């Protein structure tokens, strides 16, 4: 039976790379997007061109109602997911003293509340089948903090706490829940970071690639990760 995966933020750099990598393992990937359908379609076309299966799913992950409507329709159509990769996230940086409520809430609603909005409706089929994988994309900012990113770090740290709690709840049901904490990855979000900052912070003296994150995600979503749950894998080139 072909396994199915929902990748939130699948139109972004890391999400797209994970979607393509899972498809190479024979997974039917559902690529979630909000505003950038064209970019999500490009990812889907690359997957199909390589012989894989991909579908698109657009909804606002920050909304419980919108998420539930989209995901209930999937489950009702017998398209329950075996794998959830929560890669959706945004940054809206400012020092906390100058941050407004909207900046705080937008980041929390997408990165942290979005995890609940997507994961909650899709868990029961995994439990019934006694197999499932949930992987969240956090950040080294969750582990160390970062100036101007109190909202982002809080959201990403919340993913770790939520994932570890869920891992304990589902460990006996064959559902493994883990977190990846990337460092500086070659995406639009880090494009403006000066090379000297990367050189000073990263032991490997370079940014990582979305494909390097995707390789770790693919392992966590595989049968080979069946005894790994509740963990946080630091994929940062040595930001310790």
Q: Is the per-residue pLDDT at 124 higher than 90?
A: yes
Task: Please give, one letter per residue, the 3-state secondary structure of 188-227.
Answer: HHHCCCCHHHHHHHCCCCCCECHHHHHHHHHHHCCHHHCC
- Percent with pLDDT over 70 in the chain: 100
**Between 3.40.50.720, 3.10.129.10, 3.40.50.920, 3.20.20.80, what CATH number should domain 4-233 receive?**
3.40.50.720
Whole-number pLDDT of residue 45: 98
Q: What is the mean pLDDT of the chain?
A: 95
Strand partners, 235: 182
Q: 171-187 pLDDT, tens per residue?
A: 999 999 999 999 999 98
Q: 83-113 pLDDT, tens per residue?
A: 999 999 999 999 999 999 999 999 999 999 9
Polymer length of the chain: 240
| Strand-by-strand arrangement of the 232-235 sheet | 54-58, 28-33, 4-8, 83-86, 132-137, 175-182, 232-235
Higher local confidence (pLDDT), 106 or 191? 106
Whole-number pLDDT of residue 223: 97
- Global pTM reads 0.95
Whole-number pLDDT of residue 179: 98
pLDDT tier at 77 (50, 70, 90 boundaries)? low
* Low-confidence winner among 9-13, 164-168, 213-217 (lowest mean pLDDT): 9-13
| Residue spans per domain, the chain | 4-233
3-state helix, strand, coil split of the chain in percent (to 5) is 50, 15, 30
Q: E strands, the chain, where? A: 4-8, 28-33, 54-58, 83-86, 132-137, 175-182, 232-235
Q: Is the per-residue pLDDT at 197 higher than 90?
A: no
Average pLDDT over residues 115-122: 97
Task: Please give, one letter per residue, the 3-state secondary structure of 95-114.
Answer: CHHHCCHHHHHHHHHHHHHH
Please confirm, yes or no, whether 227 is among the known catalytic residues. no
Q: Measured on CA atoms in the order 202, 204, 205, 210, is the torsion positive or negative?
A: negative
Whole-number pLDDT of residue 194: 79
Kindly name the residue from 30, 104, 152, 184 that is annotated as catalytic.
152
Whole-number pLDDT of residue 190: 75
Q: Is the per-residue pLDDT at 12 higher than 70?
A: yes
Q: 48-65 pLDDT, tens per residue?
A: 999 999 999 999 999 999
Residue 232 CA to residue 143 CA, distance in Å, equals 10
Q: 15-40 pLDDT, tens per residue?
A: 999 999 999 999 999 999 999 999 99
């Amino acid at each position: 039976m072909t396994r199915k995966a929902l990748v939130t933020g699948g139109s972004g750099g890391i999400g797209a790379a994970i979607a393509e990598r899972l498809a190479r393992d024979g997974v039917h990937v559902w690529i979630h997007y909000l505003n950038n359908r064209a970019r999500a379609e490009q990812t889907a076309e690359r997957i199909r061109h390589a012989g894989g299966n991909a579908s698109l799913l657009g909804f606002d992950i920050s909304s419980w109602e919108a998420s539930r409507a989209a995901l209930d329709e999937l489950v009702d159509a017998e398209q329950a997911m075996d794998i959830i990769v929560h890669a959706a996230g945004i940054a809206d940086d400012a020092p906390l003293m100058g941050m407004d409520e909207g900046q705080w809430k937008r980041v929390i609603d997408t990165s942290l509340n979005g995890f609940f909005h997507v994961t909650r409706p899709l868990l029961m089929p995994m439990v019934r089948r006694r197999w499932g994988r949930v992987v969240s994309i956090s950040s080294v900012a969750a582990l160390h903090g970062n100036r101007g990113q109190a909202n982002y770090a809080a959201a990403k740290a919340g993913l770790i706490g939520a994932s570890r709690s869920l891992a304990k709840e589902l460990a006996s049901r064959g559902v493994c829940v883990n977190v990846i904490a990337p460092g500086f990855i070659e995406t639009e979000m880090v494009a403006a970071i000066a090379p000297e900052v990367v050189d000073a912070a990263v032991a490997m003296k370079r940014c990582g690639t979305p494909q390097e994150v995707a390789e770790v995600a693919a392992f966590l979503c595989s049968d080979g990760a069946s005894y790994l749950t509740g963990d946080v894998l630091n994929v940062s080139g040595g930001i310790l």
